[in-house]
Structure 1
Amino acid sequence: MAPGRQVEVYLDLMSQPCRAVHILLDCTRIPHKVRYVALRRGENRTPDFAKLNPMQKVPVLVDHGFILTESDAILKYLASRADVPQHWYPRQPERRARVDEYTAWHHSNTRPHAAKVFMLEVLLPARSGSQVDEERLIRALSQLDDTLDKLETMFLRRQPFLCGDDVTVADLLAVCELMQPLGGGRDVLQARPQLRRWRSKVQAAVGDAFDRAHAVLYDVRDRRKAKL
């Protein structure tokens, strides 16, 4: 990416994939402009936004007329185009394939299973005014536990990060999903020391960018605590 060239990103930081993009941009200092899109207000359904992404979802990246959707593609594009350390999305074929392996798995495992816990504990009760459906929540937590088992046995094994010895875009996608249930006061990694150590390593690798991206989620958690 040419020096001084700035990309635009359309984000809502209550969205897990948006936080992953935000963290990469923030901690690597890629020149960028954030345009916030409040999903709860329907700002993603305006005609102007639909021109950018007919799917009406965030994140969206605009790089001098080039429009890209889907967080996985955006993260890999930024890591490939910008002058950032190679570990984010390695050029070496086998190491890059490990990142691609996780991100392909992520979209039908980590992402839906962690998101469902948050949806059942926070979003649905807030929208409907009803109580949490405990039976559905128990099933969702069981699915998430199976995913966490696989994260430990398939991906982490004895290595510090999901795809090897260095942090990659795969770690950002995963950690942002697994933080989401914290909005309902639930730390899904509390009883899993291996995954807690991994989360701490990711936080250390990205520094203050982690908490800046998650400030909105922390606020949701704190407001819920204050009501109890």
Structure 2
Amino acid sequence: MSVTVYYLPFSPPCRSVLLTARALGVKVELKELNVLKGEQKTPQFIAINPEHTIPTLVDGDFVLWESRPICSYLASQYAKDDTYYPLDPKIRAKIDRLMYFDMGTLYDRFLKYFIPVMFGGQKQFDPQQLEKVHEALGFLNKAIEGHTWAVGNHITVADHVLASTVATIDAIKIDLKRHPSVAAWYENCKKSMPGHKEINEIPAQNMAAMIQSKLE
């Protein structure tokens, strides 16, 4: 059981895929693409993924990109049971909702906060964008209040997706203590999620160091 993943270590979406694969025991052949140097635009990679985005998964003759569907696919294809992506339509809908929330709200707002510094030459973070990140964290705080993991009391692919974003938010010193349920949940991720430090926490810290170097 082996799949190929094209990735960049510090990319949060890539990290969510690797966390899912580690949890499921899926053997992954990693092929690093430095998108900062344009390595994703080679003819060879465009032949695999015409949108030339990472992460990209290749499983035999099946090719898939976009991190959240990749996480769902891995759980559906390789999990020993349905706990990571339950078959129950209502539970699955809650998982999907949080993954879409991550894509469209939490991660999106985080991108708008850090990209102007990372790539746009801005020397300070925008406090208005910071408050939008905190608002999104508040939404997440309410969603996960009262249970151990993002959806109930068993880890699912939603946790892998959200943890990759929250690890990066935490690494650049956005205060999670304003959102106690998120802070407690993330501490649980660090303690209980297989491979979290190696796959998620350290690469997030490396990304944070790159961002910090751009600030005045």
Do the structures match in fold with TM over 0.5?
A: yes
Moved over 6 A (4+): none
150 and 168 in structure 1: CA distance in 2 versus 1, 3 angstrom threshold? same
116 and 190 in structure 1: CA distance in 2 versus 1, 3 angstrom threshold? farther
> What is aligned with 1:107?
103
Pick aligned residue for 2:191 from 189, 204, 207: 204
SS at match of 1:87: coil
Task: Tell me, yes or no, if structure 1 residue 156 matches structure 2 residue 148.
Answer: no
User: Aligned runs of 1:177-196 on 2, under 5 Å?
Assistant: 177-183=165-171, 185-196=172-183
Separation of aligned partners in 2, 1:175 and 1:156 = 13
Separation of aligned partners in 1, 2:93 and 2:123 = 43
Separation of aligned partners in 1, 2:209 and 2:69 = 33
Separation of aligned partners in 2, 1:116 and 1:97 = 27
- 1:146 Cα deviation after fit: 1.3
Task: Tell me, yes or no, if structure 1 residue 45 matches structure 2 residue 37.
Answer: no
> What is aligned with 1:168?
156
Q: Are 2:12 and 2:204, in contact at CA under 8 Å, matched by a contact in 1?
A: no
- 1:198 Cα deviation after fit: 0.5
> What is aligned with 1:144?
133
- Residue identity matched to 1:142: E
Q: Are 1:115 and 1:180, in contact at CA under 8 Å, matched by a contact in 2?
A: no
Separation of aligned partners in 1, 2:134 and 2:100 = 19
> What is aligned with 2:199?
213
Task: Structure 1: state its 5+ residue gaps.
Answer: none
Q: Are 2:138 and 2:179, in contact at CA under 8 Å, matched by a contact in 1?
A: no
Q: Are 1:8 and 1:33, in contact at CA under 8 Å, matched by a contact in 2?
A: yes
SS at match of 2:36: helix
Q: Are 2:141 and 2:180, in contact at CA under 8 Å, matched by a contact in 1?
A: no
- 1:40 Cα deviation after fit: 1.2
Superposed CA offset, 1:195-227 (max 9, x none): 1101012223313x11111323323445748x9
Q: Are 1:44 and 1:56, in contact at CA under 8 Å, matched by a contact in 2?
A: yes
Task: Tell me, yes or no, if structure 1 residue 56 matches structure 2 residue 52.
Answer: yes
SS at match of 2:83: helix
Identity of matched residues, %: 22
64 and 47 in structure 1: CA distance in 2 versus 1, 3 angstrom threshold? same
Aligned CA RMSD, in angstroms, stands at: 2.2
Superposed CA offset, 1:80-125 (max 9, x none): 010344221111222112111222222210110122222234x136
- Residue identity matched to 2:140: L
> What is aligned with 1:124?
119
Separation of aligned partners in 2, 1:219 and 1:71 = 20
Separation of aligned partners in 1, 2:181 and 2:61 = 43
- 1:182 Cα deviation after fit: 4.4
Q: Are 1:18 and 1:71, in contact at CA under 8 Å, matched by a contact in 2?
A: yes
